[in-house]
Structure 1
C-alpha cells in the first residue's frame, strides 16, 4: 500500500488560508483538517477568525468546534487525531487538506515526531520538577519564556504543572527530531502563503478592528458568563487575553485593541520563524487583496506537475 496523500496550506495569520483551503477542497474533492490550535474550541469564533457557519458547511471540516473552552489541546493531541482523519479521508477516496498556521503541529505530523518515545526515554519532567523546587517557579517560567514566549504569556508562573508541560512540548518541537521517522509516512505536499510584512501588518490591524466590530469584547464576556475560567488555556490566547486584562481595568479599550494588534503581529513573526524549519514548503506570494483563485490555480498546477494528484 502506498503512502497516504495529504496537501497542506500553511502561512501566518491573515494571509487567506481558509479561503484557499475551501477552493482547493472543491477542486480536489477534498476535506479540510484544521491545523490551527484554537479552532478546536466551541463558542470561540471571533478572536480565532474561525470560518463562518456557511463556510464550514460548504466543505467538510475536521478538528473545528470539537472541545469546550475549558479543555486543553496540544501538539500530541493534534498529531493523533489528524493521523486518524488522514487515514479515513483517504479511505473515502478524498484528499485531506490541512489548513492552518501552527507550524509545530504540522511539522510534528508530517515528520512523524515520536512523542511517546521521547517522553518515555527521558527524565525531562523529573529534571524540571527538581529545577522548580531548587530555583523556584519564576525561574522555571523564565526557562519557558526562552522556548515559547506565547505559552509563557498564557501561563502563570505558579501553574507549575502546565509550565512544565509547555516546556516539554517546546523542547519536543526542537529536539524530538532525534526521534522522528527517517521518512515521512505521507505522500505530502506543503504550500505556504507568504505576504510581505508591509502588506501583512496593515491587514492584521484591519482584521483586529473587524473583530472588535464583530463583537470580540462581547464574546469574551459571554464566555465568562458561560463559566469558562480565566485560567483556561484557550482564554490566554491572543485577543481574549487582552480583553480580560481590559475587563480588569489594566488599560482603556483603545490601548487594549492596540495590544491585540501588536500581539498578533508578533505572532505572525514567530510563525515565520517556525516555517524556516520546514524547507520543503512551496511558497506562494500573496498580494493585497489576496486572490485565492490565482493561488489555488498555482497549487493545482504544481500538484499536477509533481504528480501528486494521481
Structure 2
C-alpha cells in the first residue's frame, strides 16, 4: 500500500502567453484531461472576450470547467475549488493525468492548497453601507477605502470589481484581519503531488501579443458578442460583465465612449491585468519557469515542458 499523493499538473502564465496551444500538445503527450483555471471561461456565451478554446482546437483532449454557468450566476474561487477537487478525482479514476491550465492565480492556489473559505461569515448591514458608499462616491473611492486597510488585496482587485472589494472590506470588518493576510497564512502543503510550470516571456513582447490578440478578438466579433449579452438582459454590473473585453465595450455600445477609446482602454487594462498576474505568480515559489519569448521555437518549448514532466509521476 502506498501513501503517495495524487498527481496534478499545472500550466499557468499571463494572458496571451501561449498557454492554450501548448496545453493541448502537453495533454496529448501525457494522457491528460484539462481543467480550465480561468475565472471567466466558466460563463456561457462569453467566448471571444475570454479567448475560450474552440472545440476544433481541442484535438480530442477533454476540457472541463468551460461553459458551466450563465453570466448572471455567481461563481467564486470556493466554487472552483469544490468542482475542481471532484474533477481531479474523476480524471485520476479514469487513469488520466489531471491538468489545470489558466491564469487565475487565486483559483489555482485555492484548489492545489485546499484554502478554507469561511472568511468570518457575513454582515448584511455593513455590506449595504459599502454599496451605498460605492453608489455615492464611485468605484475609485471604494477601491481607495480597501487600499487603506488591505493594500495587497487592493493591488489584486480591479477598481471596477466592486463585489469582491466589498467582500474584502467585509472580511476585514468581521475578523479584524485583512483578507490578504488570511490568504498568506493558508497552508502551502498540497494534498497533491504537483508539477507547477509557468510560461514567461520578455515584457514588451507580451504586451505586443496582448495588442495583437485584442485586434483578433475585435475582428472575430467581440463587439457583437457583448451586444448579444446586453440584448439578452445581462446587466453591465454583473461580475461576469466586468471582465476584460466586456466592461470596456459596454460603454461604447451605450454611447458613452468612442470605439477608439474602448479599444485603447481594453488594451491598456489587459496590459495592467497581465502585470497583476505576473505579480501574483512571483510569490508562487514552486513554479518551474519556461521562457517562451521565441515564438518560432514552439517544439523546443514543448520539449522543455515534457522534460520537466518526464518521470515525475511514474
Verify the 8 A CA contact 1:5 1:96 in the aligned structure 2: yes
Verify the 8 A CA contact 2:156 2:276 in the aligned structure 1: no
Cα pair distance change 1:149/1:128, threshold 3 Å: farther
1:88 to partner: Cα distance: 1.0
1:164 to partner: Cα distance: 2.6
Number of paired residues?
A: 297
CA distance in 1 between counterparts of 2:238 and 2:254 reads 16
1:78 to partner: Cα distance: 0.8
Q: Structure 1 unaligned runs (5+)? A: none
**TM-score, with structure 2 as normaliser:** 0.86
The aligned counterpart of 1:52 is 54
The aligned counterpart of 1:22 is 24
**TM-score, with structure 1 as normaliser:** 0.87
The aligned counterpart of 1:32 is 34
1:140 to partner: Cα distance: 4.7
5 Å matches for 1:54-133?
A: 54-56=56-58, 58-116=60-118, 119=119, 122=120, 125-126=122-123, 129=126, 132=129
Quote the RMSD (CA, aligned, Å).
2.6
CA distance in 2 between counterparts of 1:295 and 1:108 reads 28
CA distance in 1 between counterparts of 2:133 and 2:262 reads 31
The aligned counterpart of 1:308 is 312
The aligned counterpart of 1:226 is 232
Q: Which one is further off, 102-111 or 144-153?
A: 144-153
The aligned counterpart of 1:178 is 185
Mapped pair 1:193 → 2:193: no
Cα pair distance change 1:293/1:104, threshold 3 Å: same
Q: Structure 2 unaligned runs (5+)? A: 173-177
Verify the 8 A CA contact 2:252 2:259 in the aligned structure 1: yes
- Secondary structure of the residue that 1:58 maps to in structure 2? coil
CA distance in 1 between counterparts of 2:109 and 2:96 reads 22
The aligned counterpart of 2:167 is 165
Cα pair distance change 1:131/1:217, threshold 3 Å: closer
CA distance in 2 between counterparts of 1:266 and 1:105 reads 19
1:250 to partner: Cα distance: 2.4
